Amino acid sequence: MSEIVKKFLYLNRRAPYGSIHAWEALEVVLIGAAFDQDVSVLFLDDGVCQLIKGQDTKGIGMKNFSPTYRTLGDYDIRKIYVDRVSLERRGLTPDDLIEIAGEDPETEEEIENLVEVIDRARVSALMNESDAIFSF
């Protein structure tokens, strides 16, 4: 295993279903999780709509991939962020979003919800701290 751990940021800015971006991004995040890097996933702009709970795609004949976000914790991705201003602009609150459970890597204690709603300064800081940013 490589000693050098890079900070990867996956930046999601598209709504689900209207384009393929959201699903492709999720697949890349899950595949990339195998490389044991320091991964953050950020939902910004229309990307916050990917996490809205209660999605039901039967009426549009597309695969509902919203349950798959709940596996991010299983894939040891613990840094999951949502931009607060993007939520507000879309009439959404943190309660409208799915919860993603995980566990503390040291204590193995269950963490009920990894999703963290952050302000704009934290969003900028996340980008500035990253070694690589994957934008979708």
Partner 1 sequence: MAILHTVNQSPFERNSLESCLTFATDGAAVMLFENGVYAALSGTGVENQMMQALGRLRIYVLGPDLRARGLTEGRVIPGISVVDYADFVDLAVEHQAVQSWL
Partner 2 sequence: MANTIEVDGKQFTVDEEGYLADLNDWVPGVATVMAGQDNLELTSEHWDIINFLREYYAEYQIAPAVRVLTKAVGKQLGKDKGNSKYLYSLFPYGPAKQACRFAGLPKPTGCV
Q: 82 pairs with which residues across the strands? A: 43, 117
Interaction between residue 37 and partner 1 (CB under 8 A): no
Question: Which of partner 2, partner 1, none binds 53 (CB below 5-8 Å, type-dependent)?
Answer: partner 1
Cβ proximity of 112 and 103 under 8 Å: no
Whole-number minimum distance, CB 74 to partner 2, in Å?
A: 5
Determine how many CB atoms are found less than 10 A away from the CB of residue 103.
15
What does the alpha-carbon distance between residue 76 and residue 38 come to, in Å, rounded to a whole number? Answer: 10
Residues 97-126 interacting with partner 1 (rule: CB under 8 A): none
Nearer to partner 2, 75 or 94 (CB): 75
Q: 102 pairs with which residues across the strands? A: 111
| Binding residues for partner 1 (CB under 8 A) | 14-19, 45-46, 49, 52-60, 62, 64, 66, 89-91, 96
